[in-house]
Chain A
Amino acid sequence: EGATSTVKSLKETKMNEMSVNGEWRSSKVSTETTIIAVRYDGGVVIGSDSRASMGEEYVSSRVINKVIQVHDKIFCCMAGSLADAQASQMLSSISSVFTGQHMSIYLQLEPPLVKSAAAIMRSFCYTHRDELSAGFIVAGWDRKNGPQVFQVSLGGMILEQAFTIGGSGSTFIYGYADAKFKPGMTREESLSLAMDSDNVSGGVVHLAIVTEKGAERQLIPGNKLPVLQSLA
């Protein structure tokens, strides 16, 4: 029986083949993230996994860079080959648009629309489309249109969807998410879809849930998530 494999999942086989050797320490490129946002009746759920460091470094600070709260009820996640420093710089400049002096009078009347945040991201992506290789997910709740999820992709295309996934890790879960998603899900089902999709990608799951009442963050460590079938 010389040819028996002992890996736990097909994904691990592929990851072992790719073989990251501590390159991440000096790497400026994408850190194999998976991000997902799902809209349900009443709010949105945004999730991201934490494949950043292969478990060698605790990742909570990395996650704040991936899922940024740009306003009370609007979140933005980035995936792609943008250095983390540049990404967080860019995303915080977005949030400063919403909290800046010249906007504050306008914003006191009405919180910004999710669509506006998405439009700002889109304009950035389109302007820098030749240099950038990154996509964004903008999700949140506003009074005018309720819960929304926008995908702002590579060249600057904007698309509103009921759910969307992104990041280099997302290719592995397209099939899973397609199979599991159904329109008109409840909050629990959306949570479960986000959690399971990110779990399937690996590591811990960082969730944010946005409703009319506000935003709530959750961190779910790997050992609390459902265990996948082992193939060994």
Chain B
Amino acid sequence: MFPANVSTLNTYNDLYPDWTQREVSTGTTIMAVEFEGGVVIGADSRTTTGAYIANRVTDKLTPIHERIFCCRSGSAADTQAIADAVTYQLGFHSIELDEAPLVQTAASLFREMCYRYREELMAGIIVAGWDPRRGGQVYTVPVGGMMTRQPVSVGGSGSSYIYGYVDSNYRAGMSKEECLKFTAEALALAMERDGSSGGVVRLAVISEQGVERQAILGNQLPKFSTV
């Protein structure tokens, strides 16, 4: 695979690219916002192995159940494995109950796994969806395995850059269109600054009616003055 004389301790060597030795990461920006009647979720589409972009059109919005999605950030392997496990558990639970599962149940399942295996895992997950009992909900399960419900949540490496923007621009009671615009702009700003986030903006609206997905391509992203 790579030459035998490459020292694995030599972490920076122009001759041999480092992505052959690096784990795949979804260094990313993910976001979810509640509105009256549902949630809007969004993510960028870049997956990196070191400095190499392994996938520039990743879909980080993973369906867990019909009206429950999760946004994944952190190690791609870890989050895919957790999402698969939770999808199975939730599907089983939903069949037993014979009704749609609660978003809080999905979030609790994520939390159980992320907390139990917190030493081995590197996963930051936002769980968002709609259920008939409590409407649109966003739960965040960051690295470490805490779970909390928030009206708006951001995650991933790019999220640091948009805390200020989100704090100052979020208003309670926004409509679906306003939430979509807010999410797209915040993600575009994060993708502008974070090297591990980029590509297209993937958005999804989850409500009683179901799930509507869209993607905003690079040339259609909201633009801000460049400095």
A associates with B: yes
User: Which of A161, A197, A228, A231 is close to B151, meaning CB atoms less than 8 Å apart?
Assistant: A231
Please tell me if A57 contacts chain B, counting CB pairs below 8 Å: no
Question: For the complex, is A11 an interface residue (Cβ under 8 Å from B)?
Answer: yes
Cβ-defined contact, B168 with A181, below 8 A: no
Give the distance in Å from the alpha carbon of A37 to the alpha carbon of B171 in the complex. Answer: 28
Contacting pair A3 B167 (CB below 8 A): no
Nearest CB in chain A: distance from B185 CB, A: 7
**Contact B227 A175, beta carbon cutoff 8 Å:** no
How many of chain B's residues have a CB under 8 angstroms from any CB in A?
Answer: 33
A10 touches B225 (CB 8 A): no
Q: Count contacts on A: residues with CB < 8 A to the other chain.
A: 32
Residue of A nearest to B167 (CB): A9
- State the CA gap A48–B83 with chains docked (Å): 43
Which residue of A175, A197, A228 contacts B162 across the interface (Cβ within 8 Å)?
A175
A174 in the interface (beta carbon within 8 A): yes
Is there a chain B Cβ closer than 8 Å to A14's Cβ?
A: yes
What per-residue 1/0 map shows which CB atoms of A164-189 lie under 8 Å from chain B?
10000001111111110111000000
B79-113 CB mask vs A (1 if < 8 Å, else 0) is 00000000000000000000000001001000000
In the complex with contacts A3-B104, A231-B170, A176-B165 CB distance below 8 A: yes
Cross-chain contact B165 with A11 (CB below 8 angstroms): no
Asked if B168 and A196 sit within 8 Å, CB to CB, the answer is: yes
Does A68 sit within 8 A of B, measured CB to CB?
Answer: no
A176 touches B164 (CB 8 A): yes
Stretch of B1-9, B14-22, B187-195 lying at the A interface: B187-195
Interface residue stretch chosen among B44-52, B63-71, B116-124, B142-150: B142-150
A45 vs chain B, min Cβ distance (A):
15
Quick check: B107 and A174 within 8 Å, CB to CB? no
In the complex with contacts A3-B148, A9-B167, A10-B152, A172-B227 CB distance below 8 A: no
B224: chain A residues within 8 A (beta carbon): 178-179, 181
Known contacts A179-B185, A196-B168, A229-B167; can you find 19 more A-B pairs with CB under 8 A? A3-B147, A4-B148, A10-B163, A10-B166, A162-B227, A171-B161, A173-B163, A174-B193, A175-B164, A175-B186, A178-B165, A178-B193, A178-B227, A179-B224, A181-B225, A181-B227, A200-B164, A201-B164, A229-B168
Binding site for A on B (CB under 8 A): 104, 107, 139, 147-154, 160-172, 185-186, 189-190, 192-193, 224-225, 227
6 contacts between A and B (CB under 8 A): A3-B148, A10-B152, A11-B164, A174-B189, A178-B224, A229-B171
